[in-house]
């Protein structure tokens, strides 16, 4: 991140004016300033109602009044932000408001900001804080050109003071929300990393750092995977000089005998397509084909930071799909850990082979309450849903509904897609138990049908995040190529349903 941001809280009752401060006042659509904000404004000698009218300020979300060096007030600047109507005050709105504020502040050289809160809940205040952090993220570690000195140079560190009614309550909400932010930024960092710097070995070392937070982390190498019989997983990486790895991260914060929740991520650190090589155009984006695994690592970091009261196991399958003399070929028949055989039709349908063995391993070893996997799996899901929604496939209606609700709460939206036996015939093979692709039509669905053959009767959901995991359009809370999709979604899902 190129900016450092620090948030502290202070009771409104102990408010005192500071000449170096920029004050931010929040106004609902059609409303007036809150009590403290009005007290500050009154000392400017401006009539707020008249000024708002002259500026066409109605309180719509994102509207702004910028009052520089107001008279009779020591403050450097007053900014009045519109936050929309009361009916629009959902959690995601406050996160977006935080992003809009961060964008606005970055246009100035102000580095000491006070935001006045009185009517907002602790959760909404924390969401705004999250938006500030998420907006200011950037991935520039490999840039050698430094910002030029001069009037356009922005401050490297911005200090925010949240003036609130209850410092203790807000601090607790902020702590939980910042845990989600940190997990999201970890996921962004991982997806943004170039593949020459982040192979399976390097990725597994990132996972091992979670042990510093109390996580039990085990790394399985190719010898271990071969012993387990993971022929599908190993086939994908056999054309790469970099060894495949599987990492199991265990957080046991729940009751001893409670079945765990297992979250699984596809971690293909680079996907050339293998022998069925991809077109050169946009192949550089395939450094992000480990977006599912990145989300799992970010999520596990989050739950460790906030000391989750659930038993959660995160598993990532890490490998690289390259064309080489040792690479697997179209026409090969490989044997999965489950014993089922797979005819390889296209070596670029590799993520499902990785997940097939990891899913089987998870359901067999951990006997989970349910499993959720995330994967940048198919271009077909992007044809159907674009980059606004991730595809959700599930064999369990209750699980699917809980995930859909978490998507709406977190802003990381899901759309449920069908699972139906009618699609199974499209992946039946003449020579093996199944094929790894069903052809052009219904590609996201046939991929999900393929995965379903490796979950047995365990409640399971597959999230195809190919359209939301990287390369998304920029937003108020994300200016990065990688959004870190999945961390906030699954954290919201776990907190609402399993940590009450």
For 382-410, the pLDDT digits (tens) are: 999 999 999 999 999 999 999 999 999 99
Cα dihedral value 169, 170, 171, 177, nearest 10: 120
Mean pLDDT, rounded, for 34-54: 89
For residue 489, pLDDT over 50 is answered with: yes
Render pLDDT for 155-172 as a digit per residue (tens, 0 to 9): 568 899 999 999 999 999
Give the span between the Cα atoms of 245 and 221, in whole angstroms. 5
Q: How many CA atoms lie within 13 A of 90 on its CB side?
A: 6
Residue 146 is assigned to a structural domain of this protein: no
In a shared domain, residues 375 and 430: yes
* Lowest mean per-residue pLDDT among 8-22, 221-235, 346-360: 8-22
**In terms of domains, do 161 and 191 share one?**
no
Residues spanned by the domain of 308: 178-498
| pLDDT for 146 | 61
pLDDT band at 151 (very low <50, low <70, confident <90, very high): very low
Of 115 and 154, the one with more pLDDT: 115
Please compute the mean of the pLDDT values over residues 13-39 and round it to a whole number: 83
In a domain, 149, yes or no: no
Mean pLDDT in residue range 416-425: 97
Least confident span in 114-128, 142-156, 346-360, 455-469: 142-156
For residues 160 and 193, membership in a common domain is answered with: no
DSSP summary character for residue 19: T
Query: DSSP class of residue 458?
Result: S
Query: Residues 406, 474: one domain?
Result: yes
Q: Residue 368 is part of a domain; what is its CATH number? A: 3.40.630.10
Q: Are residues 126 and 257 in the same domain?
A: no
Residue 172 lies in a domain: no
What secondary structure, in 3-state letters, does 306-364 show?
CCCCCEEEEEEEEEEECCCCCCCCCCCEEECCCCCEEECCCCCCCHHHHHHHHHHHHHH
Q: Clarify whether residues 399 and 486 are in a common domain.
A: yes
pTM for the whole structure: 0.95
Residue 29 banded pLDDT, cuts 50, 70, 90: confident
Residue 198's pLDDT band (boundaries 50, 70, 90)? very high
Residue 154 has pLDDT above 60, yes or no: no
User: Tell me, what's the pLDDT at 19?
Assistant: 62
Least confident of 104-113, 205-214, 414-423, 455-464: 104-113
Task: Check whether residue 336 and residue 467 sit in a common domain.
Answer: yes
Lowest mean pLDDT among 146-155, 189-198, 308-317, 437-446: 146-155
Say yes or no: 265 and 385 in one domain.
yes
The pLDDT mean for the chain works out to 93
Helix axis angle, 167-192 to 122-136, nearest 10°: 30
Task: Give the pairing type, strands 157-164 and 112-116.
Answer: parallel
Q: Are residues 190 and 92 in the same domain?
A: no
The tally of domains found in the chain comes to: 2
Annotated active-site positions, please?
A: 278, 352
Q: What is the pLDDT of residues 255-293, one digit of tens each?
A: 999 999 999 999 999 999 999 999 999 899 999 999 999
Confidence of residue 91 (pLDDT cuts 50, 70, 90): very low
Interval 327-377: pLDDT, tens: 999 999 999 999 999 999 999 999 999 999 999 999 999 999 999 999 999
Give residue-wise pLDDT tens across range 297-326: 999 999 999 999 999 999 999 999 999 999
């Amino acid at each position: 991140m190129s900016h450092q941001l620090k948030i502290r809280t202070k009771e409104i009752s102990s408010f005192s004016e500071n000449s170096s401060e920029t004050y931010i006042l929040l106004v609902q659509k059609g409303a007036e300033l809150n009590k403290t904000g009005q007290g500050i404004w009154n000392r400017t000698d401006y009539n707020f109602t008249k000024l708002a009218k002259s500026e066409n300020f109605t309180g719509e979300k994102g509207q702004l009044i910028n009052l520089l060096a107001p008279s009779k007030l020591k403050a450097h600047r007053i900014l009045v932000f519109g936050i929309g109507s009361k009916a629009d005050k959902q959690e995601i709105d406050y996160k977006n408001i935080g992003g809009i504020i961060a964008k606005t502040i970055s246009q100035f050289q102000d580095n000491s900001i006070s935001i006045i809160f009185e009517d907002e809940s602790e959760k909404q205040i924390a969401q705004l804080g999250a938006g500030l952090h998420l907006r200011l993220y950037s991935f520039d570690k490999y840039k050698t050109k430094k910002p030029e000195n001069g009037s356009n140079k922005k401050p490297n560190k911005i200090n925010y003071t949240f003036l609130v009614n209850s410092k203790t309550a807000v601090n607790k909400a902020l702590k939980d929300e910042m845990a989600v932010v940190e997990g999201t930024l970890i996921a962004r960092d991982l997806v943004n990393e170039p593949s020459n710097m982040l192979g399976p070995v390097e990725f597994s070392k990132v996972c091992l750092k979670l042990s510093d937070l109390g996580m039990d982390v085990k790394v399985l190498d190719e010898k271990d995977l071969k012993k387990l019989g993971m022929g599908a997983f190993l086939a994908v990486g056999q054309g790469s000089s970099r060894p495949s790895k599987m990492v199991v991260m265990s957080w046991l914060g729940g009751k001893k005998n409670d079945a765990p929740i297992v979250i699984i991520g596809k971690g293909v650190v680079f996907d050339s397509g293998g022998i069925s090589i991809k077109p050169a155009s946009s192949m550089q984006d395939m450094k992000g084909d480990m977006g599912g695994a990145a989300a799992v690592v970010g999520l596990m970091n989050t739950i460790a930071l906030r000391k989750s009261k659930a038993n959660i196991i995160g598993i990532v399958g890490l490998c690289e799909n390259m064309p080489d003399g040792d690479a697997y070929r179209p026409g090969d028949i490989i044997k999965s850990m489950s014993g089922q055989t797979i005819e390889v039709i296209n070596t670029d349908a590799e993520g499902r082979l990785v997940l097939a063995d990891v899913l089987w391993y998870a359901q067999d070893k951990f006997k989970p309450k349910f499993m959720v996997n995330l994967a940048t799996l198919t271009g077909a899901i992007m044809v159907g849903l674009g980059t606004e929604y991730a595809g959700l496939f599930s064999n369990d209606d209750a699980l699917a509904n809980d995930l859909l609700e978490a998507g709406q709460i977190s802003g990381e939206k899901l759309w449920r897609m069908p699972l139906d036996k009618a699609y199974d015939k499209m992946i039946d093979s003449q020579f093996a138990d199944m094929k790894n692709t069903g052809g052009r039509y219904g590609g996201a669905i046939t991929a999900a049908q393929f995965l379903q053959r490796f979950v047995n009767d365990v409640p399971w959901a597959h999230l195809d995040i190919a359209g939301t995991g990287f390369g998304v359009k920029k937003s108020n809370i994300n200016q990065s190529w990688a959004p870190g999709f999945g961390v906030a979604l699954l954290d919201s899902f776990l907190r609402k349903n399993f940590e009450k």
